[in-house]
Every structure is written in structure tokens, then in C-alpha cells.
Amino acid sequence: MTQLVDTISEMRRWSQGARQRGDVVALVPTMGALHRGHLALVKRARQEAQRVVVSIFVNPLQFAPHEDWDRYPRQLANDMAALADEQVDVVFAPSVEEMYPQGDSLTRVSVASMAGALCGRTRPTHFDGVTTVVAKLFHIVQPDVAVFGEKDWQQLTIIRRMVSDLNFPVTVLGVPTVREPSGLALSSRNQYLSPEEHQRAGAIYQSLVRAKERYQQGERHRDRLIDLVRATLHEAGLTPEYVEIVDPGTLEACPASLPSSALLAVAVPVGRARLIDNMLLGQ
């Protein structure tokens, strides 16, 4: 039986009980509207822990006022059914008032320079909102393990750094991106796409694959690979917000002549959606 918990006090009581029994607890933080990508995280959590908690919370702190917080898809009943099939123990779905009883959190957790890279350029407050809510969730759920998707590579890297800098007793695991047959990364925001936009969005993955193939053939010129990605997107009528090649561990821009390990990352507006994806080049 999957238990629905919506208060912090009940969540804490459950976690304390699990820990007293000696159970390893894994947490999968989400914003709901679950798809197979989220479920891959849950399956990984299941492998690592006796008890699995999935949080569902559309965190206002990580949305700017003009972004899609109010229209973000919310489908708790469907999500509960999918998570019951995965034998999740607890779904923690607090209200905004429960998480932010004073209306806001004056305290922010900020992984400074990393939060300003890549998506942080156009979403300057986003990652502080993410790290603040994830820190709160870690304090509330007290997991031994937390599982995140590599689709949001920047988020995963920032959370790893937060956990290291602030000594959270949590092991952070990353799970490879789950994709549609076209290669399009599964995302709750794909629901915003019309059928035609959905089809065009397949070019995002194709652009990454083309660049990776060129890299594997020996191309090490950063800007030529970036141009190739831009050209592939352009053919599909897409204009990226950014195409960047960065160090996968620090998110700092790679030099013009690429090293043996690099991360190619893109953000692409498609219709009403802003989609992100990434691919490791080299090791």
C-alpha cells in the first residue's frame, strides 16, 4: 500500500520509524506528472533501499513570476496509481502552505557559480529555488539515498556539490535519461507540445547525436560542434536558447580545443515549452 502523506510532521514520524527499524530510505524528488523517466528513478531507488519515498511538489521558489508554475501539469491521482504499481512506500505531497508557511523562505541555499551557468543565465533564481527545496526535503525525509535524473545534468551536479559542501548524509545517484523512440527526452513539459511541435522536438536529440558522432570521429574544435548542433536545430525550424560545451563536473565552459571529457548541453524553446537535453562527449 502506498501511503499519501501531506504534512511535514507525519513525514518525519514515518522516517524516524523506518530508520529505527534499520531500513535504508531512498527519496526521489519530483514535481509530479510522472512518466517513464521518473519511474526509472523509482526503480533505481528500489534497488538501493528497503523504503522508497517519492515527493511531489511543484516548488514555486524555482519558478520566476513569468514562468509556468500555475499551468504546470498536476495529476496526483494518476501519479499515485503509477507509484503504487512500483510499490513506493510513501508519496510526500505537501501543499505550498505546508512547505512555506511564512509565504516565502528568506533563507536560500545557493551553489553560487554553478547556479549561474547554462540554464542559470536565463533562469537566475531557478537553481537556488531547487537547492533550497531539496535541502528542505532532505531535512524532512532524512533519506540515505536520493535519486535524480541525468536529463537535468546541471541540477544533478549542483545537488552533488550542495551535499558535499553542506555534509548532508545522503548518497546522490544519477540515472541516465529515458527517451521516446524518436530520442526526445521524456519530460512533463512535453505535454505542452502540439503533435507537430512534438515531432520537430526530435531534432534536439538528433543534433546531440550528430555532434557526438563528429566528436568520436576526432573533431575537437568546440565551436564547430556547436555550429553543427545549431545547424541541425535550424533545419527543424528550432532556435536554441543556448548550445554549450562544459566540463561535466564543474559546468565551466570548455576551452576552444576540447578535452577528452565534455558535456554538450542545450536548451531549446519549442512552442510553449522550453526543453533541455544533454549528452556526454568522450568519457
Q: Select from 161-169, 186-194, 234-242, 246-254 the region that touches ligand AMP (CB under 6 A).
A: 186-194
Contacting ligand AMP within 189-218 (CB under 6 A): none
Q: According to CB under 6 A, which one of 39, 40, 91, 172 is a site residue for ligand AMP?
A: 40
Cα–Cα distance measured from residue 58 to residue 69, given in angstroms and rounded to the nearest whole number: 7
* Residue (151 or 222) nearer to ligand AMP, CB: 151
**CA terminus-to-terminus distance, the chain:** 42
Strands 242-246 and 261-270: antiparallel
Cα–Cα distance measured from residue 22 to residue 162, given in angstroms and rounded to the nearest whole number: 26
Cα–Cα distance measured from residue 70 to residue 59, given in angstroms and rounded to the nearest whole number: 11
Catalytic hit among 35, 38, 66, 198: 38
* Residue (59 or 207) nearer to ligand AMP, CB: 59
Phi, psi at 96, each rounded to 5°: -60, -40
Q: Which residue has the cell 527543424?
A: 236
**Catalytic residue check, 198:** no
Work out the angle at residue 179's Cα, subtended by the Cα atoms of residues 176 and 182, and round it to the nearest 5 degrees: 145
Cα–Cα distance measured from residue 43 to residue 40, given in angstroms and rounded to the nearest whole number: 5
* Residue 151 CB, nearest approach to ligand AMP (Å): 4
| Residue 183 grid cell | 530520442
* Residue (73 or 116) nearer to ligand AMP, CB: 73
Instruction: Give yes or no for residue 186 binding ligand AMP (CB under 6 A).
Output: yes
Q: According to CB under 6 A, which one of 151, 198, 200, 220 is a site residue for ligand AMP?
A: 151
Q: According to CB under 6 A, which one of 11, 18, 41, 162 is a site residue for ligand AMP?
A: 41
Whether 178 and 36 have beta carbons less than 8 Å apart is answered as yes
* Residue 266 CB, nearest approach to ligand AMP (Å): 15
Instruction: Give yes or no for residue 79 binding ligand AMP (CB under 6 A).
Output: no
* Residue 278 CB, nearest approach to ligand AMP (Å): 11
Residues found near ligand AMP in the complex (CB under 6 A): 30-31, 37-38, 40-41, 148-149, 151-152, 175, 177-178, 185-188
Catalytic residues: 38
